Chain A
Amino acid sequence: MDLKPGSRWASQVCDTEIVVVRAASAGVSLECGGQAMVPVGGDRAPGATPDPAFAAGSPIGKRFADPASGLEILVTKAGAGSLAIGGVAIPLKEAKPLPSSD
């Protein structure tokens, strides 16, 4: 999967959608609810539900960053599945908001 910055991906097993903020240094497989994510608007597996091991949920507006590959993603639509790369959960990235300046 080509996780270009700005590309948008959807879960196959819940409502989660994400946008890629920072690309990974190498090819990785991005999953949600235990299933590979697909491009927003693309075909998804019918009737699938999140794997209970990856069902902690993806909250809207939160960032997740993979320290190993450098991949950083932002949740743009909340869903029941949680995000992982190759079966390993991606940690939440706490960002300190900057004061609005424009």
Chain B
Amino acid sequence: MHLSSLLEIAADALGDRVAVSARGDGALTYADLLARAEAASRHVQHAGVGRLVAVDVNSEAVPIGLFAAALAGIPYVPVNYRLADAQLVAILTRAAPGLAVVEPSVPGRLGPGIDGLVLLSRDEFLQVDGPAAPSRGEGDAEDPAVLLFTSGTTGEPKAAVLRHRHLTSYVLETVEFLGAGPDEATLVCVPPYHIAGIAAVLTSVWAGRRLVYLPHFSAAEWVDLAVAEAVTHAMVVPTMLGRILEVLRERDEKLPALRHLSYGGGRMPIALVEEALGLLPHVGLVNAYGLTETSSTIAVLGPDDHRDAIASSDPDVRMRLGSVGRPLPNLEVEVRDPLGAALPPGTHGEIWVRGEQVSGEYLGRAATLSPDGWLATNDGGWLDAEGFLFVEGRLDDVIVRGGENLSPGEIEDVLLQHPAVADCAVVGVPDDQWGEAVAAVVVLADGAGADAGTLQGWVAERLRSTRSPQRIEFRAELPYSETGKLLRRVLKAELCAEPEASHQGPPSGS
């Protein structure tokens, strides 16, 4: 199926329902959204450009642009406008030729400009139209629908290719057509260049759920907007949830309209999930795990799973609060050893996935799927006996200490259980004796105190002593990307460059 069919069918069924709440000049119904996307697609077709690029914050121009590109039969290419200038130029050079909808600061940052890239402001884009073009028919589901550039800090920028069939397969398999009631609204605060930002447009349109956009994330504005728009559904990344809960506590705000709060895009501390469950008992929490290359979610821990886990006295069931739930029914997920052989439940390995929504394709690169359609995610993890999936983080982040593989996530979880620890990150640093040593960077809770020795002892008591951080540094905050991913490579580079300020000696035993 083609993305344009999603909107055409929804507009046929729900023409008068509000599709997007836009500030200022009012809301767009499904019929309006289709009409605006068609007008923009006529302009794009008339201009004869090959790609529609968006270097902008969230607004109604995102769904209009996404569907305009689909109707014109060209890919939509959302790019992070906050990238460093050199990186932005590199990515836009690869994205060109095309038409780019840009945030006001962008043109001045591109030097002499990008060959073949025509720039439009968002206001200009929202006004464009063009002469009627000949009908394209149904549209080819094989065409690339969206290109998402990874913001990798090294090497050439890499663009994941998501074809119409990948994205629509995800929508058709996971969302009930018109499944949303007329009062439902979803608050989108993840940026458009994040796969969850794209998926939110498609799944909301297909469900008939109103889109409400927050241009820049701030916890206070998120709460304001959630209250003002009576938001029923929202998706946040882990770093956002902590700040939102803080604001809710300060204001004693319960968000009575909210029904579903989904989180994903990084590791969520269990303590934060428990806090959210306590603070918002009427809200169903949803943990979603997915990759850009899999057209968003591939496993879900639903509201009932959360409630069952927290109510259980069985440690194996309770532990599922830290899992990403079960794979979607239309997908296959396996945990495999380094040679690619499937592993039994309870055994750690690499997570592999197969299904119609799985692309695993990058622009200008050889296919990464195995001949029988499996994608190796480069995420480590394991499945429990009931099929719940636990994700331990990127395999590249695994610390190899004296031949033993240590998962940073496991050590971070234990550190976070210490009352004095507000946030932490564990990375491997080079070590003459062990090859790699465990290093932890800790952010202490307000007013709390704990020294390195105390925290080393805390980990050693709960895990094996080999997992206790050999080195602990204290910081005021940790580096995160805008989409909430902990920047381990940045921390690792900093630790390798710095003298060991808080070195407390190796843990006893090994």
> Could you list which residues of chain A lie within 8 angstroms of chain B, going by C-beta atoms?
5-8, 17, 19, 21, 60-61, 74, 76-77, 95, 97-102
A61 to chain B, nearest CB (A): 5
CA of A5 to CA of B207, assembled, Å: 19
Say yes or no for B186: interface residue by CB 8 A criterion: yes
Cα A59 to Cα B302 with chains together (Å): 28
Q: Is the CB of A76 within 8 A of B165?
A: no
Q: Which 10 pairs across A and B sit closest by C-beta, in order of nearness?
A: A6-B1, A101-B288, A102-B199, A102-B200, A99-B302, A101-B297, A99-B286, A97-B176, A61-B178, A76-B9
Q: Return the contact of A99 from the options B13, B186, B303 (Cβ within 8 A).
A: B303
Write out, one digit per residue, whether chain B residues 42-72 have a CB within 8 A of any chain A CB (1) or not (0).
0000000000000000000000000000000
New contact pairs (4) apart from A74-B172, A76-B13, A101-B174, CB-CB < 8 Å: A5-B1, A99-B302, A101-B264, A102-B288
Residues in B neighbouring A95, C-beta threshold 8 A: 176
Q: Which A residues touch B297, using CB under 8 A?
A: 101-102
CB atoms of A100 and B141 under 8 A apart: no
Residue B2, interface by CB 8 Å? yes
Q: Give the residue name and chain of the A residue nearest to B302 (CB).
A: A99
B177 partner residues in chain A, CB cutoff 8 A: 60-61, 74, 76
The complex places the Cα of A60 from the Cα of B14 at a distance, in Å, of 11
A102 contacts which chain B residues (CB < 8 A)? 186, 196, 199-200, 203-204, 235, 262, 288, 296-297
16 contacts between A and B (CB under 8 A): A5-B1, A5-B141, A5-B165, A6-B5, A60-B177, A76-B12, A77-B12, A95-B176, A98-B175, A98-B300, A98-B328, A99-B262, A99-B284, A100-B207, A101-B262, A101-B296
Given the complex of chains A and B, what is the CA–CA distance between A19 and B174 in angstroms?
Answer: 16
Select from chain B the residue with minimum beta-carbon distance to A97. B176
Query: Roughly how many angstroms separate A8 CA and B10 CA in the complex, as a whole number?
Result: 13
**Which of chain A's residues have a CB closer than 8 A to the CB of B13?**
60, 76-77
Which of A6, A19, A101 has most B Cβ within 10 Å? A101
Select A100's contact among B1, B12, B286, beta carbons within 8 Å.
B286
Cβ–Cβ < 8 Å partners of A99 in chain B: 260, 262, 284, 286, 300, 302-303
Give the one of A5, A95, A97, A99 with max B CB within 10 A.
A99
- Chain B residues, Cβ within 8 Å of A21: 1, 172
Q: How many residues in B have their beta carbons less than 8 Å from beta carbons of A? A: 41
Identify which of A6, A7, A17, A61 gathers the most chain B CB atoms within 10 Å of its CB: A6
A-contacting residues, B134-172, CB 8 Å = 138, 141, 164-165, 168, 172
Question: Measured between alpha carbons, how far is A75 from B117 in the docked complex, in Å?
Answer: 41
Least CB distance from A96 to B in Å reads 8
Residue numbers of B with Cβ under 8 A of A are 1-2, 5, 9, 12-13, 138, 141, 164-165, 168, 172, 174-179, 186, 196, 199-200, 203-204, 207, 209, 233, 235, 260, 262, 264, 284, 286, 288, 290, 296-297, 300, 302-303, 328
* Nearest CB of chain A from residue B42's CB, rounded to whole Å: 19
- How near does chain A come to B238, taking the closest CB pair, in angstroms? 15
Give the CA-CA distance A101 to B286 in the complex, in Å: 6
Q: Which residue of A lies closest to B188 (CB)?
A: A102
Closest partner residue, chain B, to A75 (CB atom): B177
Chain A positions within 8 Å of B303 at CB level: 99
Task: Give bound CA distance, A6 to B164, whole Å.
Answer: 10
Q: How far is the CA of A97 from the CA of B296 in the complex (A)?
A: 17
A61 with B138: CB separation less than 8 A: no
A45 and B199 CA atoms in complex are apart in Å by 39
| Chain A minimum-CB-distance residue to B184 | A100
Residues of B near A7 (CB, < 8 A) are: 138
Chain B residues near A8: list those with CB within 8 A. Answer: 5, 9, 138
Q: If A101-B264, A101-B288, A102-B297 touch, does A19 touch B9 (CB 8 Å cutoff)?
A: yes
Chain A: minimal CB distance from B465 (Å): 39
Contact of A98 among B138, B168, B174, B204 (CB under 8 A): B174
Residues of A near B302 (CB, < 8 A) are 98-99
**Which of A21, A60, A98 lies at the interface centre, i.e. has the most chain B CB atoms within 10 A of its CB?**
A98
In the assembled complex, how far is the CB of residue B71 from the closest CB belonging to chain A, in whole angstroms?
A: 15
Closest residue on chain B to residue A74 by CB atoms: B177
A100 cross-chain contacts in B, Cβ below 8 A: 175, 186, 203, 207, 209, 233, 260, 262, 286
Q: In the bound complex, how far is the Cα of B177 from the Cα of A61, in angstroms?
A: 5
Please give the distance in Å from A59's CB to the nearest CB on chain B. 11
Q: How far is the CA of A8 from the CA of B9 in the complex (A)?
A: 9
> In the complex, A19 Cα to B204 Cα: how many Å?
18
B209 partner residues in chain A, CB cutoff 8 A: 100
Complex Cα distance, B483 from A92, in Å, reads 41
A95 to B177, CA, bound (A): 11
In Å, the complex CA distance between A97 and B262 comes to 15
For the complex, what is the distance from the CA of A5 to the CA of B173, rounded to whole Å? 13
Closest to A22 in B: B172
What residues of chain B lie closer than 8 Å to A98, measured between beta carbons?
Answer: 174-175, 300, 302, 328
Give the chain A neighbours of B175 by CB distance below 8 A: 97-98, 100
Instruction: Write the nearest CB–CB distance from A8 to chain B, whole angstroms.
Output: 7
**Chain A positions within 8 Å of B288 at CB level:** 101-102
* Residues of B contacting A101 in the complex (Cβ-Cβ under 8 angstroms): 174, 235, 262, 264, 286, 288, 290, 296-297, 300
Known: A102-B196, A102-B262, A102-B288. A97 touches B179 (CB 8 A): yes
